[in-house]
Amino acid sequence: MYGRFTRTLAPMDTAVADSLIGALVDGRYRIRARVARGGMATVYTAMDERLERTVALKIIHPMSARDPKFVERFADEGKTIARLTHPNVVAVYDQGNHDGLPYLVMEYVRGHTLRELITERRRLSPPDALAILEQMLAAIAAAHRAGLVHRDVKPENVLVAEAPNPGANSLLDGVVKVADFGLAQAVEASADESESQLMATAAYVAPELITHGHADPRTDVYSAGVVLFELLTGRVPYSGDRPVDVAWQHVDRDVPPPSRYVPGLPAVLDELVGRATRRDPGGRPTDAGAMLAEVQNARDDINAGLTSAARLGAQPTALIPRITADIAADRPTWARLPDNAPPPPPRQPGRRPPMPTQPTVGDRFAQARARVEANPRTRLALAASIVILGLLAAVGGWWFGIGRYTSAPDLVSLTKAQAVDTAKRDGFALRYDIGRYDEKAAVDTVLSQSPGAGERIVSGGTITITISLGPERHPVPNVEGKQYDLAVQDLHALRLVEKRTDVYSDKVQAGSVDTTDPPVGTLVAPGTVVTLKVSKGLAPVKLTNVVGKKVDEARSLLEGEGLKVNVVSRDGDKPKDTVISQDPAEGTGVEKGATITLTISKGPTIVDVPDVSGMSVDKARAELEAAGLKVQVVGNGNGRVAIQSPEKHSKVPPDTTVTIWAY
């Protein structure tokens, strides 16, 4: 479930460089122990002997180091991350090469990964989950501001430092750091340039990475939303037997609310997860900074709810001192009791003393009205204030209710360029979602818009449009030579349907795909059935060459090998009944009982020379040429034929020249 997802499901490098333990890298970093090993690199602890501090050393695997584009991009990303200074980002101190393998020297964080914490606690309380997520988003937001996209946000790339007080159980004061900025995008960039792989972690991958391979800050927001879901529930939204199955669920399904699995979670958490994991990137917070603000608001709402609940609880009992003369003397003048106040009446058993009467709202209003009516200037000021407030309320109500709104233009069916011109002319901004395929609409045609045509929109607001990607077509992948199961995975990645046919093959080993139907590279729609012709290995019979033999001899040879013979005839230059061609050809492997088609010659074609004696030259020429013969005239070209050669009714091949003598 937590494996890597790639479009081609390429195998990972399995080499382990344990021999590096104890090695001195760059004359400075002494490797002490191996901490972890991932799909692209191995992490060690090392002692920086120059500064006498413990660091983390990440060395790229040999298989990845063979790609020069990956190495170049990895070095560039290392320089960028080194300039990214933030308390929640694992710092990068140095980079270099050791025995041809690129490495990064990073801050060593004592603690655990968030994955280990989830495994230990199963799930976290909402305050703890939000505390961790806030620090994660703070780090990712810093990267987004620097123009970086992480692309692989997951618990394995989040480190939780050991708390100063080892006995503390709360995570509210813990320090969280995000690692591996740049590694995922170096892999991604290298893969894009070679048109091969797209790498992401299937459990946390955003839909647009699967469908288009496109990543922006909203891609990290989606992954962070899935991490929050897992922190609250102890599980990821989707599971499957293969990473590709998990990944496509992100494309086809909405992430469920966490309260479905943990009843009683605050509704604000369901809303937060839902906003962050919308399949349409346009519906998510624009980047990690925007999501951080929503997380902080959610935390405040939850804390306010907890505080209100605490206030509704039992209140402590306190002793209230009786008001004596001494105490009354210490009270301010405005709060002292009158000296001649009569003693309180004796309390009757079983009756509560009457509560002092408080002025009602009506009493207060009457007092205020009396004060206003007593002063003409006050009345005038009050009237003016009421008029001004009324005007402000009317104008404000009109503005916020109607005035600031206008109608959205109709952009549907326009081309992208036309939509841009129309929106610009009317003062609106455009935002594009990921688009969708359409069997009828041309590429870059507007399929839908939000808000719709004629609906209310703030003047100068933003209209989100969906652009047609045209009919969804994918080339049949080149699976020839691949094992059948791997070929099926490639077809399923493009939502194609496989059909298996077993054939003998001299080209590939048994169990591998020989050819496909439709052929490789043919553009097909999702759901198209692709026949995979799977090799059964070499055929038991290898065809003998019978071309040039007489048909009876050829038939005898083939039938002697357990094959059937089908004979067809056509005109040819070869002698009659001679084999001109055979199908399948010589050397092809076939199984016993297969039918071999032999094409034999009918023999050369013979022409009967017409009798043109006594005919005019023109008529004789036409007669001979109609029979497929050539004509040579000797003598009077306007006369009549006296002699012809070859003679009439001679049997000659086509295109033979007939000489005629005319007088």
Q: Could you list the active site residues?
A: 152
Q: Alpha helix (H) ranges present in 154-287?
A: 183-194, 207-211, 217-233, 243-252, 267-276
Which secondary structure element, helix H or strand E, spans residue 130, and what is its range? helix 126-145
Q: What are phi and psi of 479, to 5 degrees?
A: -110, 5
Cβ(268)–Cβ(296) below 8 Å: no
Distance CA 421, CA 414 (A): 10
CB atoms within 10 A of CB 536: 14
Distance CA 150, CA 184 (A): 7
Q: What are phi and psi of 353, to 5 degrees?
A: -60, 145
CA-wise closest residue to 584 among 551, 546, 532: 546
Cβ(572)–Cβ(548) below 8 Å: no
Residue 511 CB contacts under 8 Å (≥ 6 apart), including other chains? 483, 484, 534, 535
Cβ(521)–Cβ(604) below 8 Å: no
Cβ(558)–Cβ(595) below 8 Å: no
622-632: b (≥16 Cβ within 10 Å) or e: ebbeeeebebe
HSE, CB side, 13 Å, CA atoms: give it for residue 423. 26
Q: What are phi and psi of 54, to 5 degrees?
A: -85, 135
Distance CA 350, CA 64 (A): 89
Distance CA 337, CA 139 (A): 62
Distance CA 203, CA 214 (A): 17
SS3 assignment for 190-211: HHHHHCCCCCEEHHHCCHHHHH
Distance CA 171, CA 167 (A): 11
550: DSSP letter? B
Please write down the long-range contacts of 405-408, taking CB distance under 8 Å and 24 or more positions apart.
Answer: 405/456, 405/457, 405/458, 405/459, 406/456, 406/457, 406/458, 406/459, 407/454, 407/455, 407/456, 407/457, 408/449, 408/451, 408/452, 408/453, 408/454, 408/455, 408/456, 408/457, 408/463
Distance CA 70, CA 67 (A): 5
In one-letter notation, the amino acid at residue 35 is V
C-alpha distances in angstroms, 484 versus 12, 243, 301, 490, 539?
A: 20, 18, 55, 10, 19
